[in-house]
Amino acid sequence: MDELDRRTLCALPNLFDIWALDHQRPPPGDWRAWVILGGRGAGKTRAGAEWVRSLAEGPRPRDPGRARRIALVAETYDQVRDVMIHGDSGILACSPPDRRPQWKASERRLIWPNGAEAQAFSAHDPEALRGPQFGAAWADELAKWKKGQETWDMLQFALRLGRDPRVCVTTTPRNAPALKRLLAAPSTVQTHAATEANRANLAPSFLEEVRARYAGTRLGRQELDGVMLADVEGALWTSATLAGQQQANPPPLDRVVVAVDPAVSAGKASDACGIVVAGAVTRGRPQDWRAYVLADRTVQGVGPLAWARAVIAACDEFGAERVVAEVNQGGALVETLLRQADPLVPFRALHAGKSKSARAEPVAALYEQGRVRHLPGLGELEDQMCQMTPQGYLGQGSPDRLDALVWALHELILAPAAYLRLPQVRVL
């Protein structure tokens, strides 16, 4: 730095190639769409704004750039203006004084000193893209566009200027059909980063708060880790439902159980052994009972005695009064393994007489009634829940975590409530 002259030092803040994180750099190769997936605050907007700058600006302020006409598309016109153009990481904030474009609000255009133009569009009005043509486009938060596929299709027809028209998409991943189709296209490349990747530019208190509240949850995996979550159409649970069931700490619990869906084989390719800990408040009428899913201690790729020890460790950690396990495949072996780990473990064997989806439906009803809460750290379990449909499980592998959850809530809520509803026999 000491060896640089004053003019070079003044230019450094605007040379984004020096400061950019890996996920903010355009990938090499021949691509049509570059999708930047990231958590909140991961630097997606800055990457999009700098990419637009790199196309619009030339070597000197009035030299032509690689693109003369650029489309800026967000869910609404206000979001184009407030985030993509005037935002803290928007185009104007990133531009040096001698190359800063002028925003003409009445025309919804951004005009650079060299004559390059960017025009604002709303995803609520895809027909506005019918007619104009562009050499590049920046699409922000595509996953939340209400008319996502229609707007994206109109934008593709408009990208027809120049030798190599391209589009940059910056978005938090959501399970939106338009985004899923885009990511599956062979002409699409992507970069990805979690919120933590940009921690140097974020308030420490923000990171501490959101991690404490959302780390390990399904919402946290999407909004902080930037993970594309797989919601299945017609699933018994949805991301929105589970997001409303989060709770930091449980109240005093009347019962705690550890439920096990045993693995019948060992090795890296074997199914996991689902181990879920749940508790319940069972005071008052059965319809007032509430359940709390405390932890997911599922293990995979370990031998039978290892997962049995993991079950006993979960019992000791949470003070569980009983272990319940499905024994359709393992038979007496499941109890034998658990008693090798702890001869005095309270154990109940459960036999599955219905399909997985049929067993899961009454548990899903408890969630619909607002009678189940999730503590942090259950993201992988929640992923499986959002892929279970009345027709069966549509995810990869076996829903071991979900099976264990179903058995836990059956033991805590459904079975006792059904027993109390039985006609009482009067003994003379």
Distances (CA, A) of 222 to 24, 44, 143: 19, 14, 12
Q: Output the tens digit of pLDDT for each of the chain's 428 residues.
A: 888 888 888 888 888 888 899 999 999 999 999 999 999 899 999 999 999 999 999 988 899 999 999 999 999 999 999 999 999 999 999 999 999 999 999 999 999 999 999 999 999 999 999 989 999 999 999 989 999 999 999 999 999 999 999 999 999 888 788 998 999 999 999 999 999 888 888 888 888 888 777 776 767 777 888 877 766 778 889 887 888 888 889 999 999 999 999 886 655 556 789 999 999 999 888 888 999 999 999 998 888 899 999 999 999 999 999 999 988 765 678 889 999 999 999 999 988 778 888 899 999 999 989 999 999 889 889 989 988 998 888 887 889 999 999 999 999 999 887 766 545 444 44
Q: What is the DSSP letter of 197?
A: G
Q: What is the pLDDT of residue 419?
A: 67
Q: What is the pLDDT of residue 421?
A: 57
DSSP string, 342-379: -TT--EEEE---S-HHHHHHHHHHHHHTT-EEE-SS-H
Beta strands 69-74; 117-122: pairing state:
parallel
Contact yes or no for 120/90 (Cβ under 8 A): no
Contact yes or no for 35/205 (Cβ under 8 A): no
Please provide the size of the chain in residues. 428
Spatial separation of the C-alpha atoms in residues 179 and 143, rounded to whole Å? 6
Spatial separation of the C-alpha atoms in residues 84 and 90, rounded to whole Å? 5
Q: What is the pLDDT of residue 426?
A: 45
Phi-psi region of 396 (alpha: psi -120 to 50; beta: other; left: phi over 0): beta
CB-count burial class (<10 Å; 0-12, 13-18, 19+) for 382: buried
Half-sphere exposure of 316 (CA within 13 A, CB side): 9
Q: What is the pLDDT of residue 125?
A: 95
Q: What is the pLDDT of residue 394?
A: 83
Task: Calculate ∠ Cα 347-377-375, nearest 5°.
Answer: 75
